[in-house]
Structure formats: C-alpha cells, structure tokens
Amino acid sequence: MEILAFASFAVLVVAWLLAPTKAVAVETSAEGRAAA
C-alpha cells in the first residue's frame, strides 16, 4: 500500500511538469486598462 501511495503522488508531480502552461489574455476592467 505504501508503494501505491508514493506512486500516486509521483504521478501527480509528473503531471504538473507535463501540464500545459499557455497563458490566456484576460480582458481587464476600464480602470485596469487606464492604470496600465
């Protein structure tokens, strides 16, 4: 059971490394745009 527990956590860590990291443009508020 301990091996499965370690393995499942390792799978998550690998998934974080492989997961997409594309940034998406988010529309800002009028105030935000003015400040920028």
CA distance readout (Å), 34 to 21, 27, 28: 28, 13, 10
Q: Does 9 bind another protein (CB under 8 A)?
A: yes
**Residue 2 Cβ vs another protein, minimum distance, rounded to whole Å:** 5
Rg, the chain, Cα only: 19
Indicate whether 10 belongs to the interface with another protein (CB under 8 A).
Answer: no
- What residues numbered 17-36 form the site for another protein, per CB under 8 A? 19-20, 22, 24
Report the candidate in 15, 23, 21 with the shortest Cα–Cα distance to residue 7: 15
* Binding interface with another protein (CB under 8 A): 1-2, 4-5, 8-9, 12, 15-16, 19-20, 22, 24
